[in-house]
Amino acid sequence: MAESTVAPLAGSLEPTGLRSLRSRRSEMTEPADFYLTTAGEYEPLSAPRACRQRDRLGDELRDDYMLVDIDPPLSGQHFGLGGSDVTSLVLASRHRGQTLFPVSEWPGDVYVARIVDNEIPSADEFCVQLIAWGAIFRSLREASDYALRFSNQEQRA
């Protein structure tokens, strides 16, 4: 079992100093790189989301944050954004020894954070907010099966 570690971005509303290490433009017409669900942890993201890697980010502590575009987007109303949706998230592996470049373990446990101003970062520093723990899966079916297990458990409770 992997040893847990807390991501430096956890709960942060301060500039993190994250910077781009390798940019890759993602197009929503491209196949998903993987699927994310936060089932059992955070209901608004419990339904699986297609994720497409957009950038690799790093700071003085880690170099394995992944900026992803998500489809479908997350409603921005949960964060006071009105009609603006959250279309990008920052993911970080939750366990020491695991990485997202490349993904070292499937399913992969991740921290899920949003960019506070909901803009793709263009500056060297930007604010993020930890919103959930989640898991990433190679296929939509695997992510859906995982999410369904939590849905069935909640119905029995």
Does some domain include residue 19?
Answer: no
Does some domain include residue 5?
Answer: no
Average model confidence (pLDDT) across the chain: 81
Does some domain include residue 107?
Answer: yes
Question: How many Å separate Cα 67 from the centre of its chain?
Answer: 8
Q: Which of 136, 129, 128 is nearest to 19 (CA)?
A: 128
Tens of pLDDT, residue by residue over 57-91, are 888 888 899 999 999 999 888 887 878 889 999 99
Tell me the two tokens of residue 101: 């470049």
Q: What is the DSSP string of 75-92?
A: PGGGGT-TTPPEEEEEEE
Q: Domain count for the chain, please give it.
A: 1
**Ramachandran angles phi, psi of 37, nearest 5°:** -140, 145
Does some domain include residue 9?
Answer: no
| 11: confidence class by pLDDT, cuts 50, 70, 90 | very low
The three-state secondary structure class of 43 is: helix
Does some domain include residue 123?
Answer: yes
Does some domain include residue 135?
Answer: yes
